[in-house]
Amino acid sequence: MVVTGNSKIYDVKEVLVSGTFGEVARCCIKGQDKVVALKVMSRQYENEFLNEVQTLQLLNKLTNFKHCFIKLNDSFTYRGFLYQEFELLDQILFDYLKKRGDTLKVAELRVIAQQILVALSALKQLGITHTDLKLDNIMLVNHEEQPFIVKLIDFGFACETETLKEKGILHNLAYRAPEITLGLPRDEAIDTWSLGCLLSALFLDCFVFPEENKYDNLRIIMKLLGQPDKKQLDEGTLKKGALSRRAHKMLTVDPANRILPDDALKHPFITMEHLDGASDKCYVKKARKLMRNVQPFPSDGEKWLDTRNATPESHVFHESPRGGS
């Protein structure tokens, strides 16, 4: 099969992923020694398509954080379908775990956590919330050559954080922050909660909170972590009985007290300060080796975001002059 884009012709070699929103194929560009990923969607998902294009055009212009997000090369229509050309990455984290058949080691978990926290920090600085952080939306770049180097993908549901209140129910229950189910005010902290659920699943090989029923989901969350205070519950649209204990960091029920990505990056788990005096020198050496290829979080003295060119495009959808039939 051949697909004609804006200025390229794609020779489709293999369908890599097939899902609700469409398919992703490995393609060769004719006349070029280049292999890319081509995503195709029907026009019923045009809003998500345009949203992802606009968001990635912004994120891909970030000087210091291009490594955090999948690179979008082009977008176009062809024969009534919507196409996006991406850099070709290795595999989604979910598929890797299925093939591996085992949970991740703590040192491996740390590398992934650090990279996604850097991505969330960049998004927070720009006032963007991903809203769909899960195992399927993190990809290994090239696991054989760069173990556990990952990128965040799928920005079809990303939005400006200030517009979150206008959105309906977001997330699969396994990753859903309690404030969403309770109908409470929400902000980018919903991504931090999702990351906490994701990292727990990577370590335990199961989700901590039930994904079948929202009431069971809330019951277990509040049994383990406590509940929002009375003022928050009074503002919500779904009420739940009282429990007392409250935990902190990523899986804190109250989003106002949930750890920020910047602060999480300074936690000893990420910095590995607590390993300085560890007796198992072999483990420490392996853990530090895994982190060596991860781009460091900028220090306070470095420029956080270079947004001189990172402004939303006024027109993000470029229709191929040959493709609209």
Percentage of the chain lying above the pLDDT 70 cut: 83
Q: Is the pLDDT of residue 324 over 70?
A: no
Catalytic residue among 132, 154, 187, 191: 132
**Calpha distance 168→32 (Å, rounded):** 44
pLDDT tens digits, residue range 168-206? 766 789 999 998 988 888 999 999 999 999 999 999 899
Residue 227: per-residue pLDDT: 72
User: Among 10-14, 196-200, 225-229, 243-247, where is mean pLDDT lowest?
Assistant: 243-247
Query: Which of residues 276 and 88 earns the better pLDDT score?
Result: 88
**Number of CB atoms found within 10 A of residue 47's CB:** 10
3-state secondary structure of 61: coil
Q: How confident is the model at residue 299 (pLDDT cuts 50, 70, 90)?
A: low
* 132 in active site: yes
DSSP category for residue 252: -
82-132 confidence digits (pLDDT tens): 999 999 999 999 999 999 998 899 999 999 999 999 999 999 999 999 999
User: How confident is the model over 281-294, as a mean pLDDT?
Assistant: 85
What does the DSSP assignment read for 264-320? HHTSHHHH-GGGTT-S-HHHHHHHHHHHTTSPPPPPTTS-S---SS----S------
Range with the largest mean pLDDT of 79-83, 244-248, 266-270, 279-283: 79-83
Fold of 91-291: Transferase(Phosphotransferase); domain 1 (1.10.510)
What residue segments make up the domains of the chain, in order of their start?
2-87, 91-291
The per-residue pLDDT for 182 is: 85
Q: What is the average pLDDT score of the chain?
A: 84
pLDDT digits (tens, 9 = 90+) for 26-67: 999 999 999 999 999 999 999 999 999 999 999 999 988 989
When pLDDT is cut at 50, 70 and 90, the band that residue 291 belongs to is: confident
Q: The domain 2-87 is classified under which CATH number: 3.40.50.2000, 3.30.200.20, 3.40.50.300, 3.40.462.20?
A: 3.30.200.20
Compute the CA torsion angle 244, 249, 253, 254 (nearest 10 deg). Answer: 100
Residue 295 has a pLDDT of: 66
Number of continuous H segments (helices) and E segments (strands) in the chain: 10, 11
